[in-house]
Amino acid sequence: MWDYSDTVKEHFFNPKNARAMDDADAIGDVGSIQCGDALRLTLKVDDSNETITDAAFQTFGCGSAIASSSVLTEIIKGKTLDEALTVTNQDIADQLDGLPPEKMHCSVMGREALQAAVANYRGEVWQDDHEEGALICKCFAVDAVMIEDTIRANNLRTVEDVTNYTKAGGGCSACHEGIEEILTTVLAETGEAFAAQASRKKLHEEKTPKLPGKGLSNIERIKRIERVIEAVRPQLQRDRGDVSLVDVDGDTVFINLVGACSGCQMASLTVSGIQQQMIEDLGEFVRVVPVPAGSAAGAAA
Amino acid sequence: MSGSMKGIYLDNNATTMVDPLVVEAMLPYFTEQFGNPSSIHSFGNQVGRTLKKARQQVQSLLGAEHDSEIIFTSCGSESDSTAILSALKAQPERKHIVTTVVEHPAVLSLCEYLEKNGHTVHWLKVDKQGRLDLDVYAEILTQHRDDIAVVSVMWANNETGTIFPIEEMATMASDAGIMFHTDAVQAVGKIPMDLRYSNIDMLSLSGHKLHAPKGVGVLYLKRGTRFRPLLRGGHQERGRRAGTENVASIIGLGKACEMASEKMDFENNEVKAMRDRLQKEILAAVPHAFATGDVENRLPNTCNIAFEYIEGEAILMLLNKAGIAASSGSACTSGSLEPSHVMMAMEIPYTAAHGTIRFSLSCYNTMEEIERVIEAVPPIVAQLRKLSPYWGENGPIEDPEKLFAPTYA
């Protein structure tokens, strides 16, 4: 089971302020039974100075959800609403002497319940701005939504990029497969294919070696590209699709996917498959980019 | 465990205690007879003979026709991977797999991975009791008979204990000319089997589920079944699984299989009686609780009870404090966002799926222990329900939508 701190266990076995409060001045409900975590935070507030005079909770959830709720009520009692709002989820986790990475969302839920309760007291509508995805990197507790957003915001291309921006994947390497899947999906949104780079940068090899394929004549190069396209067509036609070559610009090969292929979820897989085949046949790196039929290479970029 | 009270272990589907007699049988093979069975000298060849005996002990429990049908591996997962990948490699023209949505991750994750890499997987669904629809299965076999490389279906489900009609399904596959593999990790030692009279081509078992140590498993491979090894290298296991034999553990597994044959009746009578009493008394004492799975057709040692409106990990922590070990299908115990895929496949509502607890017994449990668990469970459930915002004074709140309305769902 989890390696919970003694403080977490203490707050779970003997939770503080666990009760329904019938005459609450503020109620903050967060979570849902689907996720397996739900918390109701109730507050008594002194109107004259907006001070929290009492706090109570009811929680449906695991050990750390109950412990986070319990410690939260202890932290905020006696604070003004504004002071309470400065409490972060890290404060909650710290007060519990830490939480396992998979369980940090329990502390987040505590903070959100607090925001919801304060909004309720002030007659405001609290909007949840936190979307949580499946935990991808367990070493640094980074979830899928965080990785997706960071890739989009920064145009990331490689697992190494993702590690540099989010730390995800910088530890045990177990989540690299998951990160590559996210990269493939997100890049496919803009019609780009994810190209797996060779593993980590070699310490003794800073410069990329010259690839043998650079010696091909332009004619020979285009011929080979066409040959790869021709080779995959029968397979795509079987699935009522097709592919044609649009243009070649430097190391970028523009292709057009039609019929059942275009827009299909498998499109990105098809594109990466073609790209892989071309890289092997040409002996050089090329990026395969799907574009609408007839578009000029420049317009696609 | 608390105080001087001895812990009560009801998590035998996760792993079992190694029987002291098994340990005793293994010990000489660490220090006295440590030789490599491949060696010519007397340190080694003695060991080779004992491996043969262990192979026959496994053969006997499974009712296999030949001892050469037993391949020792490192675990159940390795056996599963070997079986499925072998079927695909040996029949490259066949790219389809048939399996169920309630398999153990050893099969489930592998099939998902193969699906991503261009294979077609036919996922058999289950009904609310966790049962398969054999008409759907028959239809798939008929429609794709030339494309299916292998059918892989677990003999018994690890979470609910539900038993699938494996022998019938194997015969159906055989009639269609399709290989059949079963992950029998939970079934071996609890259900009598006679593989020589079945159409099962491959079967996986794991040592540590039947009182042998962790780190040893078996792949049963019926004579004549086409095969490709997963690990290539030395000639061990007739070249079907390279790597120096885990001698002591194999000897332990042989001994454990021999003992499992002897205890089969006890398992299906005494252990079953303890399980039945545990379930009956808990359900009588705790409102808003029910047993999941096909309760009429289960492993004799397993029951899975859903406690509504509370969460499994919290139950486990309080049980653990009371000296009782069990396991849960809640999302929190695994660190994922969804409750167990088995509970979701059976459409157990979220209000109950997060609160499922599996009690899995063994022949080492006593009725006295079971009575103590029956005493301990109701107050634990009541204590957590008192904390739950979904629970009112004496029962679930009537209109959760109105009374408890979180900002996001």
User: CB distance from A22 to chain B under 8 Å?
Assistant: no
| Residue B6 vs residue A174, higher pLDDT | A174
**CATH topology for the A6-121 domain:** Sufe protein. Chain: A (3.90.1010)
**Would you say residue B82 has pLDDT above 80?**
yes
Domain limits, chain A: 6-121, 135-189, 212-300
Q: Is B321 on the interface with A (CB under 8 A)?
A: yes
Best A13, A30, A34, A194 residue to mutate vs chain B (most B CBs within 10 Å): A34
- Interface contact B314-A12, CB threshold 8 A: yes
Tell me which chain B residue has its CA closest to the CA of residue A57.
B387
- d(CA B48, CA B43) in angstroms, rounded, equals 10
**CA-to-CA separations, B395 to B308, B354, B390, B399, in angstroms, rounded:** 10, 18, 9, 12
Q: Is B314 on the interface with A (CB under 8 A)?
A: yes
Q: Report the range out of A131-140, A240-249, B95-104 with the highest average pLDDT.
A: B95-104
| Percentage with pLDDT > 70 across chain B | 94
**Considering the domain A135-189, what is its CATH architecture?**
Orthogonal Bundle (1.10)
Of B337, B339, B407, the CB nearest to A116: B407
Distance CA B166, CA B262 (A): 23
Shortest distance between the Cα of A66 and any Cα of chain B, in A, equals 8
Q: A297: pLDDT confidence band, cut at 50, 70 and 90?
A: very low
CB-based contact (8 Å) between A230 and chain B? no
Domain A212-300 CATH superfamily: Fe-S cluster assembly (FSCA) (3.30.300.130)
Distance of residue A266 Cα from the nearest chain B Cα, in angstroms? 10
Q: Is A285 on the interface with B (CB under 8 A)?
A: no
pTM of the model: 0.80
In contact, A224 and A281? CB cutoff 8 Å: yes
* Catalytic machinery residues of A: 35, 106
Number of H helices, E strands in chain B: 15, 13
pLDDT of residue B159: 96
Cβ pair B336:A36 closer than 8 A: no
Distance, in Å, from the CA atom of B167 to the CA atom of B139, rounded to the nearest integer, reads: 18
A117 touches chain B (CB under 8 A): no
Model confidence at A202, pLDDT cuts 50, 70, 90, reads low
Burial of A250 (C-beta count, 10 Å sphere; 0-12/13-18/19+): exposed
Q: What span, in angstroms and rounded, lies between the C-alpha atoms of B16 and B212?
A: 8
Q: Which tokens hold the place of B141?
A: 């076999």
**Is B388 within 8 Å of A59 when comparing Cβ atoms?**
yes
Average the pLDDT over B218-233 and give the result.
97
**Residue B164: which H helix or E strand, with range?**
none
Alpha helices in B201-269 (DSSP H): 247-266
ipTM of the complex: 0.83
Residue by residue, DSSP assigns B320-368 as: HHTTEE-EE--HHHHT-SS--HHHHHTT--HHHHTTEEEEE--TT--HH
Residue (of A46, A36, A276, A299) closest to B352 by Cα position: A36
Bridge-based pairing state of the strands B202-206 and B217-221: antiparallel
- Show the tokens assigned to A200: 């980590």
Band of residue A128 on the pLDDT scale cut at 50, 70, 90: low
Helices (H), chain A: 6-13, 63-76, 81-85, 89-95, 104-121, 144-154, 159-166, 176-189, 218-238, 267-282, 297-300
**Alpha-carbon torsion angle B295, B298, B303, B309, nearest 10:** -40
Q: How far apart are CA B350 and CA B333, in angstroms?
A: 15
CA-CA distance, B70 to B61, in Å (whole number)?
11
Q: A104 to chain B: nearest residue by CA?
A: B335
Instruction: Delineate the domains of chain B, giving CATH numbers in brackets.
Output: 8-14+263-403 (3.90.1150.10), 20-260 (3.40.640.10)
pLDDT band at B399 (very low <50, low <70, confident <90, very high): low
Residue B311, pLDDT above cutoff 80: yes
CB contact under 8 A, B314 and A18: no
Task: List, in sequence order, every residue forming a beta bridge with B97; answer none if it has no partner.
Answer: B121, B150
Q: Hey, what are A263's tokens?
A: 């827009």
Shortest CA gap A164–chain B (Å): 25
